[in-house]
Structure 1
Amino acid sequence: MSALQKIFKNNTPMLLTVISGFLIMIGSLFTIFDQQPLDAVIFVSSFLIGGYYQAREGVTDFIRKRELNVDILMVLAAVGASIIGFWLEGALLIFIFSLSGSLEIYTTNKSTDAIAKLMQLAPAEAWRIKADGSTEVVAASELSVGDTVLVPKGGAVPIDGKLLSDYALMDESAISGESIPVNKEKNEEVIGGTLNLNNPIKIEVTRVHSDTLFSKIIRLVEEAQSTPSKTATLIHSIETTYVKVVLLFVPLMMLIFYYVLNWGFTESFYRGMVLLTVASPCALMASASPATLSAISNGAKKGVLYKGGSFLENLNRVDAVAFDKTGTLTVGKPSVTDVLYKNECEKELIQSVLISMERTSSHPLAKAVVDYFSKNMQQLTVAFDTISEVEGKGIEGFAQKHHWKIGKKAFVLTDESDPLAIRALKKQDEGKTVLYVSKDGQLQAVIALSDQPAPAAKGLIDYFKTQGIYTIMITGDNEATGQSIAEQLGMDEVRANCLPDKKAELIIELKERFETIVMVGDGINDAPALANASIGIAMGAGTDLAMETADIILVKNELDQLAYSHRLSKKLNRIILQNIVFSISVILVLITVNVLQLINLPLGVLGHEGSTILVILNGLRLLRTGSKPKAEQANNFY
């Protein structure tokens, strides 16, 4: 499809604008060859065609809502110019006004491309496996929870589900933006709209079509684009009043031109029509909305969803950011940080014992131990006669007549004066979880584990420091654990031992200290705090409740996109301010030069509507995502 076809697609006003311009050229030729009144007929046809949509919108708003808008001013100016015989000027006015309106529609269409592209990725049909093993093609919207679906090699997953096959290689770039394929194992979640790159797979449907992550993303972007920012709402709210003032101001000035300055009726009326054109707030009306729509689409491309333009706009004004710890600032699962041995000669034996025993447990700490030693150290084989898990305490077993224990201090340790036990206490003081390992009642090793900071967490906190934004960690963990992570990240404040209701109360308390506070979380326990914050931000890998409560969602679960959003908000506010100052300045200058009789109607139209086009194009710059989205580029947006 050519560039022109893309512009005209779903933009009938743009096509009519082009026809209007073509008729102006024909009418101008007729004027040159003195073909009157045929040239007037062509010019009138031009602004009837070019101004159809704007005139219809203006009249409809006036009849149904009793609202006056800039469309009415343009129509009146064009009609007024034609009444006194300035047919070309009237047609040019409508053409350029129509061009700016068409460009605004193009901007809106452009900024919603993200939704269209997402919708194309989600297949409309699915291969459902029936009870007899055969398949049937059904609409993806007809699938129910528990259905089994076959996804062919190279096919898109039609709906969110659980992998029933042993293995799958998935392209999740549509959701995460990451180009590297992701390995999936049996019972892991697969997301609708992602691509199956390997052999055919089977999935079990876990969500209905309307509740899938894909559907939520599309719905959230659509809702955000239909919710204007505060600035856009404010500008729109003054439009009717402004138009009324202009409609009173123009006749008054025409009387002054005629009776005070003695310009004559035609000149006074003509200057009134120029004034009606240049004083209308077209550029001012377009200062915020196109820019906000472009910024929302920009965020969607990066995997950040804003539930309204006001949330993105206000992100620039944030004074403090409160973070949940687990799963937000940290990776959300424990990992081994330190291993202390009583006798280094027994190191390999203890490693083997740990792997053999912990492999039988489903506890997260046991899994972390197995992962660590399996990847980092040599394995030996130890055959255990029995292994049993003691609920809430640890695990024990017998091998070669030796009694091994792994677990809590009270379950394993018999001598607290042991030097190794004293070293373990220091690890506990650092906020780490400690597992003790004993052989026949004698302490052999100590393993320290903790939840580690997320890869981008330090860069994000550093970025906020450069912006003068206060950072607080709010965690349900103990003080030592919270302080340990906070010190690693360089945070300003830690609030520990916070239950969900306490988190919400703390946010309310912080709002008394800070005018605008952001809360970032991922769990059900964060939902009350997210709801009470000035702006709630949820991690995409978090719970549905957190995402429903939040105002902004980081779909890709990447903290550096929060810094990107803050820079995007700053850029949005700068562009809106530029547009407002520029549009008001142009109006004042054009009014002044019109009173001084230094411009005619075509130049007034060109200056006024040209400023509108420039304002829209300035807002379109926010569609560009930029090449440096990471948090470490603290002061660089593009």
Structure 2
Amino acid sequence: MAQGASALAKQNSVPEVSFIEKIKPHAELIAASISGILIAAGWILSKGDSETASVIAFILAYVIGGFAKAKEGIEATIEDKELNVEMLMIFAAIGSAIIGYWTEGAILIFIFAMSGALETYTMNKSHKEISSLMELQPEEALRISDGVEERVHVSELEIGDLILVKPGERIPSDGKVARGQTTIDQAAITGESIPVSKDSGDDVFAGTVNLTGSLTVEITKRNDETLFQKIIQLVQNAQSEKSPSQLFIERFEGTYVKVVLAVVVLMMFVPHYLLDWSWTETFYRAMILLVVASPCALVASIMPATLSAISNGAKHGILFKGGVHLENLSHLKAIAFDKTGTLTKGKPEVTNLIVADGLDRDDVLLKAASIESHSNHPLANAIVKHSKDKLGKELVHPESIEDVSGWGVKAHFENENWKIGKADFVGRSAAEAFSDGAAVKLAAEGKTIVFIERNGQLAGLIALKDVVREETKQAIDLLKSEGIYTVMLTGDSQNTGKAIAAESHVEGYIAECLPETKVQELKKLKEQYGQVAMVGDGINDAPALATANVGIAMGEGSDVALETADVVLMKNDLPKIAEAINLSRRMNRIVKQNVVFSILVIMVLIASNFLQLLDLPYGVIGHEGSTILVILNSLRLLK
């Protein structure tokens, strides 16, 4: 383990960075702090006889504290050909200096710089999850070629290559276990904290940690196509995509800024003539209006909240492909579920074994599994697995075996002739009468029946079923408690659909659905309920995922489903859907709080200014303080 730990430390070692690189993310905060020190120095000097030195200190505070925001505002104005909040602050600070209010103007720059630094911190914090993810994938792998070990860069790995992964090391690329047995920490991919056991043939993912055994892994995907890289790309795209609310605020900002500037210009003259204010008082009140009417808090109401929620989801194995999908989740009225691999495990399991009187139950199961071991059919695999789990015996090989396409299998053991397959293959009347009609009852429960015949006599039957996931009922009940209608869309028969729907607690089901039928049913649901989501994992679910208002894919599903969906659950954990909806509702609630609070603050400050109750320092504190509070409120979504 010590060797593995050192290997892991080596893989995760971060190259040494220069002092400049270390402080670069904190540049805005450092500049704001220096600006604050210079303001304090300027204020102290202004109390003495050093008026010139005081003005120099304030000018330096203006330049150092306001440079970043001024640069940002001027560049955005030139690029968008629209005035913005940053420009309002620049005008207000310069106006304050013109009428001799150096301290107030400098305080405005200082608090504006501090709120900008806090907003940058929020953005960096929301990007932290993706940055830490990117650091998890090793850059090198130990490739085995003709028995020779060679350390290569992960970009050189090709599909089919064999690599050696030692205990304590991170897996460098997606693959399947060729040799070895271990437990894997998959927290980076699925968000689950409990390690998962892996054996030959099991899939393993880049960025996960091999904890115990040494593994030989066969590469199944190129480095740029791994699930790990897809996660990184999804989160990066989501963080750059803006929600409808954010886009509206940004469009509103340009118009609002123009209106504020027009009113400020009027404010510079009208009160002097109508209200008999002095020119100094008129200009002073215009500068205060310029500060307090600026929509800084309103503009900061949405984006920090959205980014915080996206980061929170990524940390818990829920990937949103954009703010629009995160926002839409809270408006869902109905959710449609695929059955296989979504509500159910997607793999049939043996639920019943009934054997004719006088026959050895274990012998019938062993012979049936031995015959089915020659088939790759999912039902055959389930019977073989059940036999190994129950009996723990080695399978026996039949002397001859014949596959009867579409019906079943014939086999011969010593003096025994065996048949395994459908009812008509062994005789429908005998199959339906067997064990007091047990087959009919089991079929009504949505189970698939395989019949076993020995020497012309029915020896038994095996019932199999795609078992409902343990967490499905909990997930569906959670959604129903939130007032969301749940329905299952499946290609299976009516009997199977009815049985699975009852077992999984969904309120409705539609059976015998082709991919195009699922699309039609989703369109009907949208007409009836408005906002509808689709949850699926297979290629046949892709059209329905694209049709729904929000498509939700299971992380272990097909690549097509992952590409088409709007939300991805990295672990096939259905309760995460309710968690995602609650996160969406929390985000929308916090955004509303931010918007209402920021508008109320602006209205109160504007009214106080017109009544001549508000001085510039308090206007600055009220305006910029509200911006800081809005950002801090958004940061709650990181938890």
Same fold by TM (over 0.5)?
yes
Q: 1:383 to 1:549 in 2, by over 3 A?
A: closer
Deviations 1:195-250 (A, max 9, x none): 22234433232222111111110011000000011111110111010000000111
Task: Summarize the Cα distance change of 1:375–1:448 in structure 2 as closer, same or farther, 3 Å threshold.
Answer: same
Whether the 8 Å CA contact 1:287–1:576 is kept in 2: the answer is: yes
Report what 2:355 is aligned to: 341
Letter in 2 for 1:270: Y
Q: Are 1:96 and 2:111 counterparts? A: yes
State the TM-score, normalizing by the size of structure 2: 0.92
Q: Residue type matched to 2:631 in 1?
A: I
- Specify whether residues 205 and 353 from structure 1 end up closer, same or farther in structure 2 by C-alpha distance, changes over 3 A only: closer
Structure 2: distance between partners of 1:219 and 1:148 = 26
Q: Secondary structure at the match of 1:298?
A: helix
1:496/1:583 CA distance change after superposition, 3 Å: same
With 198-207 and 596-605 compared, the bigger mean Cα shift is at 198-207
Shift of 1:26: 1.3
Residues 381, 129 of structure 1: alpha-carbon distance in 2 compared, 3 angstrom cutoff? closer
**Quick check: 2:180–2:214 contact (8 Å CA) kept in 1?**
no
Equivalent residue number for residue 274 of structure 2: 260
The match for 1:365 among 379, 388, 395 is: 379
Paired letter, 2:616: L
The equivalent of 1:159 in structure 2 is 173
- Residue 55 of structure 2 aligns to a residue whose secondary structure is helix
Counterpart of 1:533, as a letter, is A
Q: Given residue 528 of structure 2, which amino acid in structure 1 is its aligned partner? A: R
Q: Return the match for 1:441 from 452, 456, 459.
A: 456
Partner of residue 77, structure 1: 92
Partner SS, residue 176 of structure 2: strand
Pairing partner for 2:194 from 180, 190, 194: 180
Deviation at 1:465, TM superposition (A): 1.2
- Structure 1 counterpart SS, 2:269: helix
CA contact (8 A) 2:183 2:212 kept: yes
* Counterpart AA for 1:299: G
Residue in 2 aligned with 1:228?
A: 242
Contact 1:351 1:379 in 2 (8 A): no
Q: Is 2:536 aligned against 1:536? A: no
Q: CA deviation at 1:313?
A: 0.6
User: SS where residue 436 of structure 1 aligns?
Assistant: strand
Asked whether the 8 Å contact 1:474–1:494 carries over to 2, the reply is yes
1:150 aligns with 2:164: yes
| Equivalent position SS for 1:137 | strand
Aligned positions of 1:277-356 closer than 5 A:
277-343=291-357, 346-356=360-370
Root-mean-square deviation over aligned CA pairs? 2.2
- How far 1:520 sits from its partner (Å)? 0.9
Matched-pair contact (CA < 8 Å) for 1:395–1:405: yes
Q: Once structures 1 and 2 are overlaid, which stretch shifts more, 211-220 or 331-340?
A: 331-340
1:40 aligned partner: 55
CA distance in 1, matches of 2:175, 2:393: 36
Cα distance change on mapping 1:414 and 1:570 into 2, 3 Å: closer
Per mean C-alpha deviation after superposition, the further-off stretch among 377-386 and 500-509 is 377-386
Match of 1:630 in 2: none
Post-superposition Cα deviations, 1:124-161, rounded to whole Å, max 9, x if no partner, equal: 12233345x43333321232223332323322111112
Stretches of structure 2 lacking an aligned partner (at least 5 in a row): 1-15
Alpha-carbon deviations, 1:12-54, whole Å to 9, x = none?
1111111111111111221233321211110111121111111
Contact 2:181 2:214 (C-alpha < 8 Å) held by counterparts: no
The amino acid that maps onto 2:571 is K
Alignment of structure 1 residues 556-571 onto 2, 5 Å: 556-571=571-586
Quote the residue 1:275 is aligned against.
289
CA distance in 1, matches of 2:94, 2:273: 23
Structure-1 separation of matches of 2:89 and 2:260: 12
Counterpart position of 1:462: 477
Counterpart-to-counterpart distance in 2, 1:575 and 1:64:
31
Q: Secondary structure at the match of 1:238?
A: helix
Change (3 A) 1:568 1:89: same
Counterparts of 2:290 and 2:156 in 1: how far apart (Å)? 56
Q: Distance in 2 between matches of 1:432 and 1:414?
A: 17
Distance 1:378 1:78, change over 3 A: closer
Matched, 1:487 2:487: no
Counterpart CA distance in 1 for 2:384 and 2:296 is 66
* Deviation digits for residues 59-78 of structure 1 (CA, Å, limit 9, x no counterpart): 11222221111001111110
Q: Alpha-carbon deviation of 1:383? A: 7.8
Gaps of 5+ in 1: 625-638
After the TM superposition, which of the residue ranges 605-614 and 425-434 deviates more from structure 2? 425-434
Could you tell me how far apart the structure 2 residues matched to 1:578 and 1:7 are?
35
Mapped contact 2:519–2:547 kept (Cα < 8 A): yes
Q: Is the 8 A contact 2:444 2:499 kept in 1?
A: no
* Percent identity of paired positions between Structure 1 and Structure 2: 48
Residue 257 of structure 2 is aligned with which of 232, 243, 254? Answer: 243
Counterpart contact for 1:340–1:447, Cα < 8 Å:
yes
For each residue in 1:585-607, what CA deviation from the matched residue of structure 2 results, as whole angstroms up to 9, or x when unmatched?
A: 00001111111222211111111
**Match status 1:111 vs 2:116:** no
Cα distance in 1 for residues equivalent to 2:123 and 2:405: 59
Q: 2-side partners of 1:398 and 1:127: how far apart?
A: 48
Are 2:418 and 1:392 aligned? no
| Pairs within 5 Å for 1:479-518 | 479-518=494-533
1:353 to 1:421, Cα distance in 2 relative to 1, 3 A: farther
CA drift at 1:539: 0.8
Provide the secondary structure at the position in 2 that maps to 1:305: strand
Q: Quote the offset at 1:167 in angstroms.
A: 2.9
Using the alignment, how far apart are the partners of 2:324 and 2:384 within structure 1?
Answer: 47
